[in-house]
Amino acid sequence: MTPLPLPPVPAPYQLPFHYGALHQIGVDFLVDPEPVRDLLAKRHPALSAAEFDGRAVVSLNYQLYFAQYAFGGGVTQEIEFNIIAHPTAEAHRLPHLSYEEYAHGVDQTRLLGIARVHVLCDNPLAIDAGRRLFAEPKRPGWFETTMPSPNGPAGDAWTVHCRRASAAADGSDTVVRHDEDVFTLTADLTGLGSVPANNAPVTGYGTDAEGRALAGPMNLYQPYRHHALDPVADADRIRLTVHDGTSELGQDLTALVGPGPAVGAWTFQSPPVAAHNRPYYLPSPR
């Protein structure tokens, strides 16, 4: 078999892309596999949905990240609607796993990856890079969030309000914010135990305009924290509210996830690199 060429890296981008800091929460839902297979066949025909004891996984993945460039720095927020999937042609290489084994990183083939179906982002540069480099279905959105922070109150609660946005009509590199909510995801993980999960590199799958499938790995230099969720005891910890049921994203969230309980949450937060401490008084001169 002739080796395939690498996908191009169009100017002005270069790879790898380095994150200066990353704060992330993902929430997984075990769902009926049939509508997942149908959606995946439309969006990523080279992929098949992973199944865990007869259930598929839909995952919502929110990221807040900082990147430093030669000209300065930038902060980006985005959220992905993903289906856990693998290349159909590589199915014979996959081990049989439970969801818990997958979530803890037991799959060392890294063929079980995230097939991106919707990606909303508030940074025009990141939208362009995601589309051109990784064939992500990325479009404008904006966010109002709260999350755990060493500079905030104690606790481990996350709220992500995803709101509608559009590209500027004049063609400028601007995300125009609108007042309408698309959906809200809340997760209160306070007091819930977690374990380190070595599931990086995370393989992200895309399908470009010519129908070519591509895979892009993302390395993290620390483990995720995985929080197992009991569907009964922890049912109130995760809430997904769809506000715009007419949008394509809202329709897919309603059809695939609906009111079903989350089965797991995973978090990653970059540690602080410096601290500005409390001042003290100098004695007054006499």
Domains in the chain (CATH in brackets) are 21-269 (2.40.400)
* Residue whose tokens read 């591509």: 214
Element of type H or E holding 113: strand 113-121
Element of type H or E holding 162: strand 157-167
pLDDT at 74 over 90: yes
Percent of the chain with pLDDT over 90: 91
Q: Return the pLDDT at 78.
A: 98
pLDDT at 171 over 80: no
Residue 253 · residue 244 · CB < 8 Å = no
CA-to-CA distance for 242 and 221, rounded, in angstroms? 34
CA-to-CA distance for 34 and 233, rounded, in angstroms? 27
Residue 215 · residue 113 · CB < 8 Å = yes
Residue 58 · residue 81 · CB < 8 Å = yes
Q: What is the mean pLDDT of residues 82-93?
A: 97
For residue 41, what pLDDT band results from cuts at 50, 70 and 90?
A: very high
Q: N- to C-terminal Cα distance for the chain?
A: 86
pLDDT at 14 over 90: yes
Residue 76 · residue 106 · CB < 8 Å = no
Question: What pTM was computed for the model?
Answer: 0.95
Q: What is the mean pLDDT of residues 43-71?
A: 96
Query: Which range among 37-46, 111-120, 277-286 shows the weakest confidence by mean pLDDT?
Result: 277-286
Q: What is the mean pLDDT of residues 95-100?
A: 95
pLDDT at 36 over 80: yes
> Computed from CA positions of residues 173, 178, 181, 182, in that sequence, does the dihedral angle turn out positive or negative?
negative
pLDDT at 239 over 80: yes
For residue 231, what pLDDT band results from cuts at 50, 70 and 90?
A: confident
| Per-residue pLDDT reduced to its tens digit, 190-230 | 999 999 999 999 999 999 999 999 999 999 999 999 999 99
Is 89 in a helix, a strand, or coil? helix
Q: What is the mean pLDDT of residues 144-157?
A: 94
For residue 83, what pLDDT band results from cuts at 50, 70 and 90?
A: very high
The angle at the Cα of 178, spanning 206 to 65, to the nearest 5 degrees, equals 50
Residue 100 half-sphere exposure toward CB, CA atoms < 13 A: 5
Is 4 buried (19+), middle (13-18) or exposed (0-12) by CB count in 10 A? Answer: exposed
Q: Return the pLDDT at 40.
A: 97
Q: Return the pLDDT at 263.
A: 97
Q: What is the mean pLDDT of residues 19-25?
A: 97
Mean pLDDT of the chain: 95
Percent of the chain with pLDDT over 70: 100
pLDDT at 1 over 80: no
Q: What is the mean pLDDT of residues 65-73?
A: 92
